[in-house]
Structure 1
Amino acid sequence: MSAPVKVLLVEDDAVIRRAVGLALERYGYTVDSAEDGLTGLELFRAGGHDLLLLDVMLPQLDGIGLCRRVRETSLVPILMMSARGDSLDVIAGLEAGADDYVVKPIDTAVLVARMRTLLRRVTFRPNEPVADGRSVLTFGDLTLDTDGLEVHVAGRPVVLTPTELRLLLEFAAHPGVVLERQRLLREVWDYGWDGDSRVVDLCVQRLRKKIGAERIETVRGFGYKLLR
């Protein structure tokens, strides 16, 4: 039997923290919780968490700052919680390295669905050996090992979050083809309904910084395509 998924919940509102924590435990998750960003950072550094659920507005160290600190050392999935769905909150969280966000008041079914989607992306173990004869795609000096899930640019390894890697794999499966934002939301973020296209735009922006901005072309009014 596999160990239960361990979630770190950082939320300063005691009522919300307890309600969300109890709801997640009913779904079978193990939950560590903290009421401020610095305590959350300490718990994260103690290790062992499979997913982080961070409020944006936190005392001592806000959720955006905490997300940035985590991303310095970890690719763990991060889901932000925004009280208003405010554009600035959403954009700041995604730019800091979050994978997705949910808006308060929290709908537990939606929250768990988003968590399960993020956790499904963490399916690779970079340190495990990979069999010979694996498939390597090449786009200029960008190489993508689709079996070993390794990315190199000009021979240098590039570290991607699971979401960034899923996005690149989707582009690489359709080189030169314009992929609409809503399609990317379905295929990469597993949205079964219309989602926020800003999630796609910000992840594309982060991916461009890592593999080269010129590799992914914006087709205005439609979406993006990976250049051959």
Structure 2
Amino acid sequence: MEFVQLLDMLLHVDKALDTLIAQYGTLVYAILFFIIFAETGLVVLFFFPGDTLLFIAGALCATGQMHLGLLIFLLVTAAVLGNTTNYWIGEAIGQRVFTHDYRWINKDALRRTHDFFERHGGKTIILARFVPVVRTFAPFVAGVSDMTFGRFQFYNVTGALAWVVSLCVAGYFFGNIPIVRDHLTTIVLFGVAVAVVPVALGGLWKMSRRMFGR
């Protein structure tokens, strides 16, 4: 398989997962492990699929093509290890990331995540699991911000369990309903909005109270 074909497969694995299972069998677990680890652990690969991948993988478990328990165990492990790696990278680079020109880092995404992190603290690590791009940068920012490793791991494991289990189980029970599969992207975006909007509104409310002294 050529590199371009491999990259295209990785970027669209959520749409071709059943084909991959037919071609590679149990090796698909390793492919999924790598994708989740890379998307959460390497800031340069923030564009890898996450939410839809978990949902569709859960749906394929319902058809007997994969084992749900094994899938959840492996992907929770990948998500925890990915965030941990990202945290260590951020800790190693430190505040230099804001003053040096690192071409492999999207500074706009980094600043947005940093601002979000400053407003919401540790719970950002959990909430960010459900927000593409922010999910990749949150552990990096936690490392840059010198968040204690023990505190980070608590939120890291909690967030990984909530993210992987909720989406895989949702896919297992609802992913094979035709109307759900046909509108998967819309449903995932709606789910992200449900998770993020209350937090954003809470942040705006606190900001308004500080501005107007109430």
If the length of structure 1 is used for normalisation, what is the TM-score?
A: 0.30
Q: Which protein has the bigger helix share? A: 2
Bigger RCO of structures 1 and 2 (CA < 8 A, at least 6 apart)? 2
Considering fraction of residues, name the structure with more strand: 1
